[in-house]
Structure 1
Amino acid sequence: MHEDDGIRAIPQGRPPRPLPDDEDVVVVDTRRRAVPGGRGGPARGRSGAAGREPAPRDPHGGGGSVRNASPRGRGPGPSRRARRARAVLLLGLVLVVAWVAFMVWVPFHAWGSVHRVDASPTGTQPPQTKGYDYLLVGSDSRAGLTAAQKKALTTGSADGQRTDSIILVHVPSDGGKPAFISIPRDSFVPIPGHRSNKINAAYSMGGPKLLEETVEQATGLRLDGYVEIGFGGFAGVVDAVGGVDICVPFNMDDPHAGINLKKGCQTLNGPNALGYVRARYSDPRGDIGRAERQRQFLGAIMRKALTPSTVLVPTRYYNFSMAAGQGLTVDQDTSLQDVVRVLQAMRAISKGEGLSLVVPLSSVNYPTYAGSAVKWDTPRAKKLFTMLRDDVPLEAPPEGTDGKPSGG
């Protein structure tokens, strides 16, 4: 060999001398790496595949392989389980927000279907008070009912409109219990612009406007709103919540109301519930007994409306709200907040946290030119209305408000 060929011969038996620094050397490692267990053979990675090279190490010195490193060397990324848990949490949050939005939207949507009338009195009104007083009326108007509905609800086809129930709702401004005060529809009172008559005649002659004015003049209370529910809306609300649980106090067979109910606790559908609160001839207490059943029913429907089976089932909650909205008639000046106050008072009474009363009476068979009527116990009635007007907290039923006539 010649030195010009770029290869130097190494004499046998001598160690190789170091090469100059300016010369390039390629070293090939032909040794075989031993596998664990002491056997030789090709190198294996963690997967055990022969000849597969180990995963490249993290160039930033993190100790892990590059394939498991998060971008920019920030350490390991979230595991699949963590990502799944985060997705489930996010989905749950979205569902909660959607549910709350639905619960809020439905009442406002139902409020848009409420009927409105002008019930503002035309005469001089009593002064405004601190508390809130509303007139809650059940109307027997057949307006809007088909022939089939009239037959199913046993309403008959009488013309005109009357009230089946008149309830004064008092909501205190601060302290005390809310109260429902039934005003018997046969109460004999002065009607503005007309002579004294049964209070139900005010509604027949002048509708909500005259009825509200009559109640204001008879009680001395300034009414803050008017809420009315008709036959069809009444039955629709009951059916929307799947019936209402009522304990019938005695057997009631009343063809005029379309019912034949046995004594005992039971679930009433819309037509039977309507007949139960309308019945007069099957109740020995007449109008007074009916007023008591009406207040009993209002508490029962409120309890059913607030059960999880109504509130947590979207379709039932929606149907109940829409049935209530479509069945209501309110004064043009009555707001959604006013209706909410009435419902809150109803809820309190259903839970035993409110008072269920009757205007103090002296006679339920008072003879008049309009027939047998109900006469108020004037001194006690005035005392009750003064307490309401002054917003005196009510913790117990005032004297004479149990529906029993003081005059026998």
Structure 2
Amino acid sequence: MTPIEEELRATFERHEALTPAVGPVRAGIEVASVRARRRRLIRRATGAAVAVLMAGSAVPVILDRWHHGSSPSVPTAEFLAAEPAPAGPLDVLLLGSDNRLRWPDRNRRADTVMIIHVPTDRTRAYLVSLPRDGEVKLPGGARSKLSETLLSGGPELTGKAVSELTGVTFDATVTVDFRALRAVTAAVGGVRVCLPQAIKSVHNDKTYPKGCQQLTADDVGPVLQARYGLRNGSYDRDRNTQLFLRALAGKLAADGTVTDPARVHALFTAARDGLEITGDPAALLRVAGSLNSPGSPIGISERTFHGMANGREQIYARVGPSLYTALRDDTLAAWIAANPAYIVK
């Protein structure tokens, strides 16, 4: 043994008493590992909540059908049943990002901005579209187009701008891009959508006729991004987006997907790469699972352009204050009865 090796051995022997016991260290490592797995589970369950809510749908989760030992991306019964579904209304801000390849992930514009409102009575979900080119007030007093807030400050800035406009405090903000919508559409075998007018897409040079037709994953982007040639431009695009989400929700409810954990898991796994969320995913799942009519969301959309002196658009110029009050007071059903022209049909 060399002198250096002898010195090292002696040093180790002198400090051996300071070495921590193996048991507590191992236990700490195991706790950290469990926490890491739990964080991964929450992120993946987040995708589940988003997929449910972006369709205005619900998964009536059958808790006793989730088992230990399942794929780690499937929420366990304990995870979902840790607390009862939150009481009161739920408001989620849904952002449809274009996420085009020429921009980094952060630099996205919001093609779709929608409020998903679930009332206290859980009768059904409401989808409230906000015009993407409408003017909103930013923190500090500056003003911007709604669609550009995602580009300049991400989902957080968009959420603050919509809260400033409506007075609604959001329980979660969900960002979904066309990767997720294409993946979900492929996973369910296509979605049958009834278009109120023909669409000539500039993305694939294909014409989609007026009427009911089956849309594949490849059709999602061309149809939902189309606005040129439509009678009311981006307003008709918002309505087409709502019609697609309603049709998807109806299919998930009708074909048994929402009651089959294996199929739900496959759907969430397909969609999660194009999803982001802030909020409590477990709470979102529990609220979504409590909806009475998962396949029948009611859509609300602006009808026409309302110009401002600066050339921008005023959002819900005629009914904005009453609409926002109905959202805050959880009285949308009464508001719709008084304003039927704003219902998406």
TM-score (norm 1): 0.57
Q: Which has the higher contact order (CA 8 A, sep 6+)?
A: 2
Shift of 1:316: 4.7
The answer as to whether partners of 1:110 and 1:322 remain within 8 angstroms in 2 is no
User: Which of the numbers 324, 337, 340 marks the counterpart of 1:385?
Assistant: 324
* 1:22-41 correspondence runs (5 A): none
The answer as to whether partners of 2:202 and 2:222 remain within 8 angstroms in 1 is no
CA distance in 1, matches of 2:331, 2:342: 21
Q: Which runs of 5+ in 1 are unaligned?
A: 1-96, 113-128, 144-156
- Larger mean Cα displacement after TM superposition, 249-258 or 197-206: 249-258
Partner of 1:251: 198
The letter of the residue matching 1:225 is A
Partner of 1:118: none
Shift of 1:398: 5.2
Structure 1 residues 190, 402: CA separation in 2 closer, same or farther (over 3 Å shift)? farther
Q: How many residues align?
A: 270
Partner of 2:250: 303
Shift of 1:270: 1.0
CA distance in 2, matches of 1:256, 1:365: 28
User: Which of the numbers 341, 354, 357 marks the counterpart of 2:300?
Assistant: 357
Structure 1 residues 268, 208: CA separation in 2 closer, same or farther (over 3 Å shift)? same
Partner of 2:287: 341
* 1:16-95 correspondence runs (5 A): none
- Aligned to 2:192, the other structure's residue is in SS state strand
* 1:6-405 correspondence runs (5 A): 100-101=65-66, 109=73, 130-142=88-100, 157-158=102-103, 160-174=107-121, 177-193=124-140, 195-256=142-203, 259-308=206-255, 310=257, 316-331=263-278, 333-339=279-285, 341=287, 348=293, 350-351=295-296, 354-358=297-301, 364=305, 366-367=307-308, 369=310, 372-378=311-317, 380-392=319-331, 394-395=333-334, 397=336, 399-400=338-339, 402-403=341-342
Shift of 1:365: 5.1
CA distance in 1, matches of 2:152, 2:221: 24
CA distance in 2, matches of 1:203, 1:381: 22
The answer as to whether partners of 2:93 and 2:115 remain within 8 angstroms in 1 is yes
CA RMSD of aligned residues (A): 3.5
CA distances 1:316-375 after superposition (whole Å, capped 9, x unpaired): 5442121133332101x3323225535766x83733xx431125x7x6151565xx5432
CA distances 1:296-330 after superposition (whole Å, capped 9, x unpaired): 11111112223436468887544212113333210
- Aligned to 1:366, the other structure's residue is in SS state coil
- Aligned to 2:293, the other structure's residue is in SS state helix
CA distance in 1, matches of 2:299, 2:316: 18
Structure 1 residues 208, 132: CA separation in 2 closer, same or farther (over 3 Å shift)? same
Structure 1 residues 340, 289: CA separation in 2 closer, same or farther (over 3 Å shift)? farther
The letter of the residue matching 1:335 is P
Structure 1 residues 105, 386: CA separation in 2 closer, same or farther (over 3 Å shift)? farther
- Aligned to 1:267, the other structure's residue is in SS state strand
Structure 1 residues 263, 98: CA separation in 2 closer, same or farther (over 3 Å shift)? same
The letter of the residue matching 1:206 is G
Q: Which runs of 5+ in 2 are unaligned?
A: 1-61, 77-86
The letter of the residue matching 2:293 is A
The letter of the residue matching 1:210 is L
Structure index of larger Rg: 1
The letter of the residue matching 1:384 is L
Shift of 1:393: 5.8
CA distance in 2, matches of 1:397, 1:305: 25
Instruction: Identify the structure with the greater helix proportion.
Output: 2
CA distances 1:54-89 after superposition (whole Å, capped 9, x unpaired): xxxxxxxxxxxxxxxxxxxxxxxxxxxxxxxxxxxx
The answer as to whether partners of 1:355 and 1:397 remain within 8 angstroms in 2 is no
CA distances 1:22-81 after superposition (whole Å, capped 9, x unpaired): xxxxxxxxxxxxxxxxxxxxxxxxxxxxxxxxxxxxxxxxxxxxxxxxxxxxxxxxxxxx
Structure 1 residues 314, 342: CA separation in 2 closer, same or farther (over 3 Å shift)? closer
Structure 1 residues 179, 315: CA separation in 2 closer, same or farther (over 3 Å shift)? closer
Shift of 1:162: 0.6
Shift of 1:175: 6.6
